[in-house]
Amino acid sequence: MGSSDVVAAVSTRLLRLPLPRPWGPDVPCVHVVVVDVTTEDGATGTGFSWTPTIGATAVRALLDDECTRFVVGGPADPEVVWDPLWRHLHEAGGGGVTTIAMAGIDLALWDLRGRRCGAGLTDLLGRRRDSAEVYGSGVNLHYGLDELVEQAGRWVAAGHDAVKIKVGRPSLDEDVERVAAVRDVIGPGRRLMVDANQRWDLPTARRAIGALARFDLAWVEEPLLADATWAYRQLRAAVDVPVALGENVHTLHRFRDLLDAGACDIVQPNVVRVGGVTPFLRIAALARAYGVALAPHLLPELSGQLALSLPEPVLVEDVEDASFAALGCLAAPSGVTITGGRLTASTRPGLGLSFRHARR
C-alpha cells in the first residue's frame, strides 16, 4: 500500500446540539461525534457518529480506543475495513454502540474516497435520479392538539405530499382524535404515516391499528418492540395497514431475520445506527431482493444523497428543525436542499459535510 492508502491517525470531537423543538423533556438535544481520518500522505476524510441524549460519550470512547487502534496502519478503504472491524468489536456487541461508532470511521473513509475522486457521495455511488421525495416528520407525541395541527399545516405549506406523526398517547381516543385532525389538515390526497415508537404490545397494537386504519394510513411504524420478531409476524397477518420498522435495527443479519420472518412491509435503516454507508447499501440490496420497500430513517443530508443513488425511488424523512442545517452544526451549506417536498444534492466532493469546531 502507498501512503495514500494507509490510515495514519483518527481524531474525534463531540458536538452537543440543542433541539429547537425538543423531542420531549428527556431529549432536549442530540449529539454528533465528528470523526477525522487522516492518511499517511496527509489527506483527511470527515465522518460522524450521531445519537440523541444517550450514549455519545460511550461511542466516542470506543472510537478513540478500539476503533483507532484497529484502523491505524491499515487500508483507507471503507469496504475493506468494515467487516474486520465489526468482527473485532463484536465482543462488545454486534450492534448499537459498536455500529454507531463504526459509522464514524466508515463515513470518514467514504468522504476521503469521494474527495480523492473529486465526486460527491451520490455521484461516487452512481446517481440514479436528480431528486427524491421528502416527507414531513416530527417528534410530536408531547405536542398539544393545536400545536400538532399547526405543524401539519406547515408541512402542507412546504409542499410535502406525505407526513408522519407520533401515536401512542395514554388513551386510544386521543390518538384517534389527533390522527383525524391531521388528516383533516392534509386532506385525502396526501399520504399519512403514524409512528408508535415501540409503545404497544401485540393486543394493543391490533386494537389501535384497527381504530386508526380508517384514516387511510400509508404505514404504521414500530408498533411493537423492535426485537419482537414473532409478534410482528402475527401483527402483520392481522392488520391491513403496512408495517414499517428498522430504525432500531443495527445489523444486516437482524434485517435478514426480520425479512425471513415476513415481519414488515417497509425497512427503515438509519445509516449511522447500522454502521455507515457500507452496511446501508447491503441492507438496501437485501430489501430489494425480498421485494420490500426501503425508507431511510432521519439524517436527510446523508440519507438523501444515498436515496439519489438507489435503483428504486425512496421516501426521505425530514424531522422538523432537526436537520444538521437547522441545528446549526455545519460550517458551510451541505449542498443538500429540500424545496417543495423534493430533495436535491449538489455537494462538494465527499459527503459535503463540514462541521463547526466550536462546542455547542
Catalytic residues: 166, 297
CA-to-CA distance for 210 and 335, rounded, in angstroms? 42
Helix 277-290 × helix 97-117 angle, to 10°: 100
Kindly state the DSSP code that residue 226 receives in the 8-state scheme.
T
H or E segment to which residue 176 belongs: helix 172-186
Cα dihedral 348/111/113/279 (nearest 10):
-130
- The grid coordinates of residue 150 equal 399547526
| Residues forming beta bridges with residue 39, ordered by sequence position | 7
CB 196 within 8 A of CB 208: yes
Kindly state the DSSP code that residue 120 receives in the 8-state scheme.
B
Cell 440519507, located at residue? 303
Compute the radius of gyration of the chain from its Cα atoms.
20
Of 204, 250, 202, 199, nearest in space to 221 by CA: 199
Write the CA distances from 243 to 7, 106, 209, 217, integer angstroms.
42, 30, 10, 10
- Give 134: exposed, middle or buried? Use CB within 10 Å, 0-12, 13-18, 19+: buried
CB 75 within 8 A of CB 40: no
Look at the chain and count its residues.
Answer: 360
CB 85 within 8 A of CB 104: no
